[in-house]
A = this chain, B = another copy of it.
Amino acid sequence: MKPTRQTRNDLLKVARRHFAERGYQGTSLADVAAELGVSKQALLHHFKSKPLLYRACLDLLNQDLLHLLFTAMDGTEDADLQLERCLVALTEYYLEDGSAPALVMGVLTDAPGQVVLSAAPPLPLQDFLEPLVALVQATPRWQGGGFAEALAVAIELLGAICLLSAARKNLSVRFGVSAVEQGRRLAVEHARDLVRVRLGG
């Protein structure tokens, strides 16, 4: 009758939320374990160390993003449309999984020599970032600009889409829950507009 046997995925889900809400350094294994009703060492049993637990969360995220990207690219050869679909899908993903945007931003702003980059290749989210940049570069608007410009544009779009969702709770305190939630309801539409306008100019 004991609850026993937490599946590895349950652990990951909670850990992921902690990493997203408090950052890597701010997340304590004891806290995560406590919320799960497990001992800290249960975590360390499944994932050998804190960095590896983090990495496991990021690999799951990477998987989601990759699936999302390839789905968006499916059924058309039009790079503009592919990119639009991708960023719309990404926005929807952020809306339903609140921890994703913070994780993405965390991975990107994590400096070398810190947590993420010290891990074994491939770098987290690299499988997602590379095709995304390639997608921007395949676009009529940006294919003349070279890799560096495509990278800059891809990161710009990513940042534009991420921040509102990542800052959700914070902004709710600042400007009220209703304003933020109302704004978030426009997120998909805004993302679509943004991409179009950024590819049209």
Contacts and interface: CB of A to CB of B under 8 A. Distances in A.
A78 interface: no
B109 A190 contact: no
Interface residues of A, number: 62
A61 interface: no
Contacts of A174: 123, 126, 129
Contacts of A159: 159-164
Interface in A161-201: 161-164, 166-167, 169-175, 178-180, 182-184, 186-187, 190, 193-194, 197-198, 200-201
B169 A112 contact: yes
Main secondary structure of the interface of A (DSSP, over half): helix
23 contacts: A23-B25, A24-B26, A107-B170, A108-B163, A109-B163, A109-B167, A112-B170, A112-B173, A123-B173, A123-B174, A126-B174, A133-B175, A147-B175, A147-B179, A148-B182, A151-B183, A155-B163, A155-B167, A155-B171, A155-B183, A156-B164, A197-B200, A197-B201
The 6 closest A-B pairs by CB, nearest first: A159-B163, A152-B183, A148-B182, A160-B160, A25-B26, A159-B159
